[in-house]
Structure 1
């Protein structure tokens, strides 16, 4: 058995020549179906159809999203670990049944906030499995290009984080952050910061907003709602920079 972990950006328009070549060499692509009307799965299907590769689906195991008081990083880490293990078993079932070379299509780039590499590492640890990773176009790259900005100031770092950790990171002194995996935008107290925000980048439902946070809150909420209404889902990311 062989697995190729392939970064596809946000769909067919972002598939690089290297990824296209590797995809054509796959016998099939295996993907998790999150619900009956999974529009993101349909994007994967479009990629597979473009390169003539069959798509094999399985129902994605549910992650424990319990948010009772007291749940913190430890609970989250345990929930993700259990979810990954359930995914490993699902992938394992497909791979053992079909054999050959399977592709895993990863949004953006496999190195950033995605479980595919960890899942395949577990698969390889208990199966006779070869695997490779091919990079894709990442969301921070597209965000910077759309807004025509550099993610960091001259001689300064950029901190890559998630919305879940944003307040903790700001409290620790971070003032130039790329924030991924956002839920509802929670920017209270950051009105004087600058934001470069994007949703569903590289798709027909793309939305962009930039400016002083306090001046853009209403515009951000409206743009996020438009993106969800147009696509049925929202993947947003933003660069957040402190004043001064």
Structure 2
């Protein structure tokens, strides 16, 4: 029997872990980490791997665990069928992970997945692990929540995301322009590397934004103000962070 622990780690700060998550990390025999970079000397891959390694070293009280990095299969970004491309990508990931599980844990054990933020929000780990189980691998799955990026965003800007009795709408940059409406209330946007919100300025000149990048890390950046006034500043900050660090993880809320 293999036990799979899917553990939300927030932004990889030990302070963002629940006590349950710390206990779960200490149970793991093998951590399986998806390496999205084909080159092992890529500085971005090294940086993200170092953050995960530092987290484990900070909270795991023993050395009896291994970290295995698995090169992630490429996703087809040319096809017009987004959902089909992602579904195929998940299936290929599941096949690769199953091969690693069969090789590394032939007699069973505890496998851990470190999930940025929380496993429930825009992360594929649970879908992939469920596919492995559905394919016949004897797995028991446990999930441990983490602090999501938009929870950190709200804390840093001291926001209550919903108005009294009002809704919160969570979406991605890819869907923002087609979905946006003032009736949605506060709109939280994830995965928007293009700052699609710029396209809302003309029709909604009074719309406000609360933005944050690298939340919980030493180079955290925050901007808040009228979207029309600060969107260029945000774009410049994103460019500077990417130039310095090689990657950017950001999120924002659109408010009235």
When normalised by structure 1's length, the TM-score is 0.92
- 1:32-91 superposed Cα distances (whole Å, 9 cap, x missing partner): 111132122322222233324321111111011116xxx2xxx01001001101110111
Q: Tell whether the 8 Å contact from 2:177 to 2:199 is kept in structure 1 after alignment.
A: no
Q: How far is 1:175 from its partner?
A: 4.1
Counterpart of 1:65 in structure 2 is 77
Residue from 172, 179, 189 that aligns with 1:169: 179
Q: Which segments of 5 or more consecutive residues in structure 2 lack a partner in the other structure? A: none
Counterpart of 1:24 in structure 2 is 26
Q: Does 1:2 align with 2:3?
A: yes
Q: Distance in 1 between matches of 2:57 and 2:134?
A: 31
Counterpart of 1:82 in structure 2 is 88
Counterpart of 2:130 in structure 1 is 121
- The alignment yields a C-alpha RMSD, in angstroms, of 1.5
Residues 1:171 and 1:147: Cα distance change in structure 2 (over 3 Å):
closer
Residue from 71, 86, 101 that aligns with 1:95: 101
Residue from 42, 45, 54 that aligns with 2:50: 42
Q: Which runs of 4+ in 1 moved over 4 A?
A: none
Larger CA deviation: 32-41 vs 45-54: 45-54
Q: Tell whether the 8 Å contact from 2:162 to 2:185 is kept in structure 1 after alignment.
A: no
Counterpart of 1:11 in structure 2 is 12
When normalised by structure 2's length, the TM-score is 0.88
Q: Tell whether the 8 Å contact from 2:4 to 2:141 is kept in structure 1 after alignment.
A: yes
Residue from 119, 124, 145 that aligns with 1:135: 145
Q: Tell whether the 8 Å contact from 2:13 to 2:217 is kept in structure 1 after alignment.
A: no
Q: Tell whether the 8 Å contact from 2:177 to 2:200 is kept in structure 1 after alignment.
A: no
Q: How far is 1:95 from its partner?
A: 1.0
Q: Distance in 2 between matches of 1:171 and 1:143?
A: 21
Counterpart of 2:214 in structure 1 is 200
Q: Tell whether the 8 Å contact from 1:29 to 1:48 is kept in structure 2 after alignment.
A: no
Q: Which segments of 5 or more consecutive residues in structure 1 lack a partner in the other structure? A: none
Q: Distance in 2 between matches of 1:159 and 1:88?
A: 30
Q: Which SS does the other structure have where 2:31 is aligned? A: strand
Residues 1:12 and 1:54: Cα distance change in structure 2 (over 3 Å):
farther
Q: Distance in 1 between matches of 2:111 and 2:156?
A: 33
Q: Tell whether the 8 Å contact from 1:206 to 1:227 is kept in structure 2 after alignment.
A: no
Q: Distance in 2 between matches of 1:121 and 1:171?
A: 35
Counterpart of 1:216 in structure 2 is 230
- 1:204-231 superposed Cα distances (whole Å, 9 cap, x missing partner): 1211100001110221112212222332
The alignment covers a number of residue pairs equal to 236
